[in-house]
Amino acid sequence: MPDPSSLTEPFAPQTAPEALEDLRARLRATRWPDAPEDAGWSLGTDVDYLRELVAYWADGFDWSAQEAALAQLPHFRMRLGGLGIHYVHVRAAAPSGPVLPLVLSHGWPDSFWRYTKVIPLLTDPGAHGADPADAFDVVVPDIPGYGYSDRPAGPPLDSIAVAGLFAELMGALGYARFGAAGGDIGSHVSRYLALDHPDRVVAVHRTDAGLPIFTGDPAELTPEERAWFEDVAAWGASEGAYAAMHRTKPQTAAFGLTDSPAGLAAWIVEKLRGWSDCGGDVERRFTKDEILTNVTLYWFTGTIGSSMRMYSANAAIPPAQLARRVEVPSGFSIFAGDVVRPPRAWLERTANAVRVTEPASGGHFAPFEEPELYAQELREFFRPYRSAATH
């Protein structure tokens, strides 16, 4: 394995004061759309809520304090595949047994931000009322085109290519074998880590199974699977316009979302509300500061366009790749408030599902919504595979 010190360099996010002033000026100059009376969230982001959020963003939100808090984590960048890859790397604190390296892959619309609450629970479980023997070395990379990683100058990378980069990253950090976990696009990345690197990935944990692809005889599907396919189709018809835009014309949307911070916030906050277990009140799960930290990361890194373009790349993945079955031991935590929740029969059809749980609270952003519960899910699932990473 290469010496990681020769490949990596510490990274300290720091926003220039003039960039922050430009953001505030743009927020104060927002040109607001009209909306039908009492439309609320029925047609997309609620105008009244967004006005309140933008006013706070302009004159109350302390980005410098949030940036400093994020900087308390150990950030690094490493050049892989011609791209600078940003990652957070925290080693286990005072481990009392074998330490399992774990790479956590995020999704859209977020970044390493998704895992900021859960990192200390995984690396130092003893300090949080759990068994110190369950400590992990945690690596949380930003997918290229997200967060502080470079944006690909050429064609966007698909989940297969990203999995290859993350496997290379883990090797460069000295981890010959490791666990992988993720949700949303990060679930796809984790899946391809297990598919393409089964000799290195000891086990894989996911919070979803992606959208279903099945090319066989529908009669082979169980009634639960067929019902799920119908639910997914209905969800796509009512909620999937964003994904169709991302897959087909992401660059068109990128102009407005890169130029208007209010537009960017509208695009993201609607998903935080719609996909989380919040009962329609987004601030039941995310404070204004937490919402705006995520959105501001997108704003200052200029990554909304590059993040959306990954949908286009993933849409071009050949069906044969999508149909591959994961044979690496797989765990699934299907949180009650998530969208398009697959039945166990589908999980067992598509993966070597050795553990499937259905936590009663939490949604699509489970590591952020329910960090303690998510951390416990990972500890319990990976516990039997710890020693495998040391051999």
The answer as to whether 39 is a domain residue is no
CA-wise closest residue to 145 among 168, 161, 121: 161
The answer as to whether 38 is a domain residue is no
Query: Stretch 153-158: mean pLDDT, rounded?
Result: 96
Instruction: Say how far apart CA 183 and CA 365 lie, in whole Å.
Output: 8
* pLDDT recorded at residue 190: 98
Q: What share of the chain has pLDDT > 70, as a percent? A: 98
Q: Three-state SS for 92?
A: coil
Tokens encoding 353: 């599902």
CA-wise closest residue to 137 among 94, 108, 106: 94
The answer as to whether 37 is a domain residue is no
Choice among 124, 137, 184, 208 that is catalytic: 184
CATH (domain of 222): 3.40.50.1820
Residue 271's domain spans which residues? 4-32+44-390
User: CA distances (Å), 327 to each of 63, 130, 192, 203, 339, in order?
Assistant: 44, 30, 11, 9, 25
311 is catalytic: yes
364 is catalytic: yes
pTM comes to 0.96
Choice among 311, 338, 374, 385 that is catalytic: 311
Number of structural domains the chain divides into: 1
The answer as to whether 332 is a domain residue is yes
275-294 confidence digits (pLDDT tens): 999 999 999 999 999 999 99
59-79 confidence digits (pLDDT tens): 999 999 999 999 999 999 999
Whether the pLDDT of residue 2 is over 90: the answer is no
The answer as to whether 218 is a domain residue is yes
102-152 confidence digits (pLDDT tens): 999 999 999 999 999 999 999 999 999 999 999 999 999 999 999 999 999
Q: Three-state SS for 360?
A: coil
Q: Taking a C-beta distance cutoff of 8 angstroms, is the pair 285, 361 a contact? A: no
Whether the pLDDT of residue 328 is over 60: the answer is yes
Question: What contacts 24+ positions apart, CB below 8 Å, involve 384-389?
Answer: 385/100, 385/179, 385/202, 385/203, 385/329, 386/97, 386/98, 386/99, 386/100, 387/98, 388/177, 388/202, 388/203, 389/98, 389/99, 389/100, 389/101, 389/175, 389/177, 389/178, 389/179, 389/202
Instruction: Say how far apart CA 326 and CA 230 lie, in whole Å.
Output: 24
The answer as to whether 78 is a domain residue is yes
The answer as to whether 179 is a domain residue is yes
Tokens encoding 104: 């956590």
Whether the pLDDT of residue 3 is over 80: the answer is no
Residue type, 195: L
217 is catalytic: no
What pLDDT band is residue 94 in, cutting at 50, 70 and 90?
confident
CA-wise closest residue to 148 among 111, 175, 104: 111
Choice among 298, 364, 374, 385 that is catalytic: 364
The answer as to whether 84 is a domain residue is yes
Helices (H), the chain: 17-28, 47-59, 63-70, 119-123, 159-172, 185-196, 223-239, 241-248, 250-259, 261-275, 288-301, 304-315, 319-322, 344-350, 366-369, 371-382
